[in-house]
Amino acid sequence: MKQLIINADDFGYCAAINAGIIHAHREGVLTSATLMANMPGTAEAIALAKQHPSLGIGCHLVLTMGRPLDATNTSLQDEKGNFYKLCDYLLMRESYSEEEIYREWCTQIDYLLAEGVKLTHFDSHHHIHFYPENREITTRISKKYDLPARNSYGTEGFSPTSGQAINELLLDMMNTESIRNMTLPYSTLKNECLSELKETFAKGEKAHTLEMMVHPAFVDEYLFTNSSFNIARMREVEILTDPSVRQLIESLNYELVNYQTAKKNLTILH
């Protein structure tokens, strides 16, 4: 039987995202989430993670959102002390200190570990850990903490990793036309959405361990104000908790797992 990891990014971003993730896990097919260590909803997400031990929890490393946990990492900050946003990242990356990136990411992982979060893996906001210029840092972190890192091959035009990984392929489960169409309710578009899901799964049919990236959430003022990707996240909650989606996954001969329960124990690069 093939293995399927369904991982929700952005756990800890805010209360609305936290609520959507927990609902999608308790009532649906979500198996994993990655937690941001520097956001307004971080403390609540840590508490929720402890209350739901069946939800695999990774660290969602941050370099393009919020503020560094270690304020001494000055090369990573704009004039207000915030991380440079993704739109500025490519312009500013050459001025970043490699050691400050490494130190900041270690600080984020150390914070979650110190708070009692049992980490199963790590990935990053905007897939920054998988950018070619950050692969060596990612490898150092994976070895230091003995944690698998998400293999982001399958998104953003990334090339394959040179090493073995728990997930052989990463696909965005929800980034298709009908699923993103919020002008009509899910009940009206359900057949179209299920058809699109089948097409997305078909892209990963050769992978023994496939990871689907999702972003479920309800919406509060913080999410609506601070992220352009907001209302559409509610559709993801509906899909992940729809019994028809679980039936589809079973019909495709997938076992739902997370990074801890997957039948591999490999880091991303060696």
Give the CATH number, domain containing residue 122: 3.20.20.370
pLDDT at residue number 162: 73
Domain-embedded: residue 137: yes
Domain-embedded: residue 262: no
Domain-embedded: residue 67: yes
pLDDT (tens digit, 9 = 90+) per residue, 8-44?
A: 999 999 999 999 999 999 999 999 999 999 999 999 9
Averages of pLDDT over each 10 residues, the chain, 270 residues: 97 98 98 98 98 98 97 96 95 97 98 98 97 96 96 91 86 98 98 98 96 98 96 98 98 97 64
Domain-embedded: residue 193: yes
The residue range of the domain holding 117 is 2-256
The tokens of 215 are what?
A: 């972003």
Q: How far apart are CA 165 and CA 38, in angstroms?
A: 27
pLDDT (tens digit, 9 = 90+) per residue, 1-10?
A: 899 999 999 9
pLDDT at residue number 270: 41
Domain-embedded: residue 247: yes
Q: How far apart are CA 10 and CA 140, in angstroms?
A: 23
pLDDT at residue number 266: 53
Q: What is the largest CA-CA distance in the chain?
A: 53
- The total number of structural domains in the chain stands at 1
Domain-embedded: residue 268: no
Q: How far apart are CA 156 and CA 28, in angstroms?
A: 27
pLDDT at residue number 268: 53
- The DSSP letter of residue 77 is B
